[in-house]
Amino acid sequence: MKFSLLMFGGALCVDAAVLGSRASYAVKGKPEGFATGVTGGGKAACQVPSSVAQLTTWLTDNVARCIVIDKEYNFKGTQGKAVENGCRPTSNACPGKGGQDAINLNNWCQPKFAGAGVKTIQVSYDKAGLYGINMGSNKSLIGVGNKGVIRGRGLRIAKAKNIIIQNIHFTEINPQYIWGGDAIATDAGSDLLWVDHCKFSLIGRQMFVAGTGAAGRITLSNNEFDGQTSWSATCDNRHYYAIYLDGSADKVTMKNNYIHHTSGRSPKVGQNTFLHAVNNYWYSNSGHAFDNLAGGKVVAEGNYFQSVATPLLENKGAFFGSPSTSANTACKTGLGHNCQMNTFVSSGKLGGTDTAFISTVKGQPIASVSAASTNIKNLAGVGRI
């Protein structure tokens, strides 16, 4: 940013136009759903970090901050490269033609995880991507227009609370490798997280993952989860590891997100997570959208599924898929409104008729619902706020 500096009687003055532009940097809107009440950096003055190093310092310290991203911050190469043994899992049936190999993180490259046909191979990856930046509490991280990009590294939120991440594009985190790194990950001790109008693309592992410790209250809204990739675990240019919600005591709202060109985990839900998935748009999913494990509790309403092969892979927990106008009246006990029907075009069916669990969120902040729409794709992601 350029400053116009004037000297009056020995005092250094900043041009009023510059002050006005800085003053305009602020979080826009408020979250709906479970993260209602999050304030992030609050009234802290918004500042633009001068470098990757300063951005890292501001993200990790214990100071309430409003951090403005008005350009690309590239973490690739900041921690060097690793060359070591990894593996080619059984899932990679298209080596050299767009498959995804794996880093041997947590000794994953063994048959019980990587499949009976796993082969040891050498992998070379960027070390910065493997572990996210550990954020401190009370932060607002906001992008300017469509210029705010964090490349090569993600964020980790554990033992940190009251965080807003808005209008940022996270990209290129070792996309060629399973276990290449997550874009945003939460864990035990976190609470009140709002991720809004962000874009996720070319991520090696999860675009968003919550768990396995309690991550508290989360709202994911107006985000674009772009699964288009040249390295696909399912060998079809679609990303498999999109969204995984597996916290031990989490309540998650997903509203107005555009989730496209994925092949699985969009999202996968488990352990003890309550998910309200409302008014999202899934497009071109060659595998499954929802996968509900034991302990997962999901209400899905007002969503639009277009060209989604399997909207729900399995339900080992509790799942309500808003199957009919008569059945949808059950939502009122917990959500305060009758659920809205989902829409399916060139897609499988959702199913899910469990209702007893819905009342467990009675009295908590719940996102509103409207009719399912494809217009979500025109409103979600960076630069559209």
Q: What is the dihedral of CA 288, 158, 248, 358, to 10 degrees?
A: -70
Contacts of 377 (CB under 8 A, 6+ apart): 224, 258, 260, 281, 283
- The catalytic residue among 88, 238, 265, 384 is 265
> What is the phi-psi region of residue 290: left when phi exceeds 0, alpha when psi lies from -120 to 50, beta otherwise?
beta
Q: Is 265 a catalytic residue?
A: yes
| DSSP H or E stretch at residue 255 | strand 250-255
Close Cβ partners of 17 (under 8 Å, ≥ 6 residues apart):
4
The residue type found at 49 is P
Element of type H or E holding 335: helix 332-335
Q: How far apart are CA 224 and CA 269, in angstroms?
A: 19
| φ, ψ (nearest 5 deg) of residue 321 | -105, 20
**Measured distance CA(204)–CA(127) in Å, rounded:** 12
175, two tokens: 């996309």
- Asked if 32 contacts 253 with a C-beta cutoff of 8 angstroms, the reply is yes
Inter-residue contact 185 to 132 (CB < 8 Å):
yes
Provide the 10 A C-beta neighbour count for residue 357: 17
- 175 Cβ neighbours under 8 A, 6+ residues apart: 202, 203, 204, 229, 230, 231
Instruction: Report the distance separating Cα 274 and Cα 364, nearest Å.
Output: 12
Q: Give the whole-angstrom CA distance, residue 190 versus residue 94.
A: 39
Question: Which token pair is 149?
Answer: 């990009």
Active site residues: 265
